[in-house]
Amino acid sequence: MRFAIFALATSLACAQTPAQVSKVFQFTQNQSENDLQQMTVLVRGITDAQNISTDSTAQTLAINGSAGQTAMAGWLVRQMDLSAAPTGGVNAQWSPSPNDTVRVFYATQAATLPALQELATNIRSVADIRRLFVYNRLKAVAIRDTDAKVSMAAWLMDQLNQPPGSPAPAPHEYKLSDNDIARVFELKNPPNPQSLQEIATLVRSVADIQRMFIYNRRKSLSVRGTADRVALAEWLVSELDRPASALSVTAPMSQEYRLPEGASPRDGETVVRVFYLPPQPPADLHKTISAVRANAQVRRTYIYNTLYALAVRGTPGEILTAEKTIEEIGKTQPPPPAPKP
């Protein structure tokens, strides 16, 4: 009796297992060993088929999997087995089942492999893509996820895969819901990658943005967060993306942002102030920052060196103390040199 039950269970399991299909795909382009290794990782990761191998001498990819996995593998091979990436924003899509989408993008504007990796990181992290793989030879990015996530990834690719200096198409904001927003900020004035990184660190920390990523080729910041945090990030970017020549060097100035009602954090840090300090040696600037932190007891104080901009977030009382501290320090410092004619 036990044998009969075991035999029946085995029979049912076999009947429920999809039939395995073996197929060999022939490449028409001369794929290098590295190309084939990337292809293997990509096809295995997107299709979920484990039994995949390539032959660099025969220029083939062999797969053993379900009929659906094998068909998807053949489709992926066709997208990668090209002499050059398609131009004009062409991409391809495959839908193996409802709310399950595979898409291949060609990042033709990513001039270098580091730029391609930066772009892929933006898409993977901001759109929360579980499966993303890069094929360097064509600068191709293959993804698989839900329809909503793939749609966001397509929007983000459209924002980033543009020539430097050319504005991305509108809209620059993508809403998954009223309180889950992605945004791409394109900056003009950071003079170098280090300055862009300083702005990113400042905005991420002051606005509490968990997902923020740089794409150096376009001097852009890709962010995703709640509506109030993205709004604060937008204000900070507008304050910091200025040419140094636009600010006064003779007198400090400041700008203030107050979080809207209902968006106030539990710690009461509802005010953000950006102080534009007179140009000063790094040692004096460090002393100013240390004094503000100590006197005002603020946790979030960040500097953007290019503009001598000090961003502080705290309670109204803490911001007032920070302002008085900066004023007192300014009285003891020598006046900045006059600008050259």
For 12, half-sphere exposure in the C-beta direction (CA atoms, 13 angstrom radius) is 6
Euclidean distance between CA atoms 248 and 307, whole angstroms: 10
Give the pLDDT of residue 148.
94
Residue 14 pLDDT: 45
Among the ranges given (6-15, 52-61, 225-234), the one the predictor scored with the smallest mean pLDDT: 6-15
pLDDT at 59 over 60: yes
Round the average pLDDT of the chain to a whole number and report it. 89
Coil/strand/helix, residue 92: strand
Element spanning 278, H or E: none
Q: Are 91 and 153 in contact (CB under 8 A)?
A: no
Assess whether pLDDT exceeds 80 at residue 90. no
Per-residue pLDDT tens digits for 204-232 = 999 999 999 999 999 999 999 999 999 99
Which whole-number Å values give the CA distances from 199 to 130, 131, 156, 172, 313, in the listed order?
28, 30, 21, 19, 15
Spell out the domains of the chain, with CATH numbers in brackets.
18-81 (3.30.1370.120), 244-335 (3.30.70)
Measured between alpha carbons, how far is 158 from 164 in angstroms, rounded to an integer?
Answer: 13
Residue 3's pLDDT is 39
Question: Cα separation of 46 and 51, whole Å?
Answer: 13
Q: Supply 305's token pair.
A: 């060196």
Axis-axis angle for helices 147-160, 113-126 (nearest 10): 140
Place 334 in a pLDDT band, splitting at 50, 70 and 90. low
Which secondary structure element, helix H or strand E, spans residue 159, and what is its range?
Answer: helix 147-160
- Amino acid 2: pLDDT: 45
In tens, the pLDDT along 259-307 reads 887 666 767 889 999 999 988 888 999 999 999 999 999 989 999 999 9
Name the 3-class secondary structure at 184. strand
Q: What is the pLDDT of residues 96-128, one digit of tens each?
A: 889 999 999 999 999 999 999 999 999 999 999
Between residues 89 and 237, the one the model is more confident about: 237
Is-contact 239 309, C-beta < 8 A?
yes
Q: So what's the pLDDT on residue 5?
A: 40
